Structure 1
Amino acid sequence: MIPDRQILIDLAKTKMPFGKYKGTFLIDIPEYYIVWYHNKGFPKGKLGQQLELVYELKLNGLEDMIRKIQKNY
């Protein structure tokens, strides 16, 4: 259970490292852009995994869970 928690904490702290939304927390990137990545293919590595998780969270209306974590860290 602890590793899953750490994944969410890391996601809450991560900002986009490049592109149009450079410097924006991943959870705050507009949904249309995340959907575009979903259709195009997420980048490889940790960033891609995090963006895929953001996609799932937005799809299920769970963004507030990450925003609550951001307030606590």
Structure 2
Amino acid sequence: MEENNLQNRQFLLDLAKMKMPFGKYKGTFLIDLPEHYIVWYHSKGFPKGKLGQQMHLVYELQLNGLEDLIRKIK
């Protein structure tokens, strides 16, 4: 269980530092992407891999108004 907590913590730290690697918002922190952009990806499908997982978490955080939790880490 402790290993899982460490993985989750690392995932959140990575998310706080991750910037969009391509497109219109290239260079923008994922947590700072406009909500409409994340919702569009949610409807079209997030990218594969870690980036997609991070963007999906950003979607969930924005949906629940919790994005400031990640901004505090950043």
Category of TM-score, reference length = shorter chain: over 0.9
- 1:49 is displaced (CA, Å) by 0.7
Moved segments of 4+, more than 4 Å: none
Hey, what does 2:70 align to over in structure 1? 66
Q: How big is the alpha-carbon RMSD for the aligned residues of Structure 1 and Structure 2?
A: 0.5
Q: Percent identity?
A: 79
- 1:62 is displaced (CA, Å) by 0.7
Matched residue count: 70
Hey, what does 1:54 align to over in structure 2? 58
Q: Which runs of 5+ in 2 are unaligned?
A: none
Hey, what does 1:31 align to over in structure 2? 35
Q: Which has the larger radius of gyration?
A: 2
Q: Which runs of 5+ in 1 are unaligned?
A: none
- Out of 20, 28, 34, the residue aligned to residue 16 of structure 1 is 20
Normalising to structure 2: TM-score of the pair?
A: 0.92
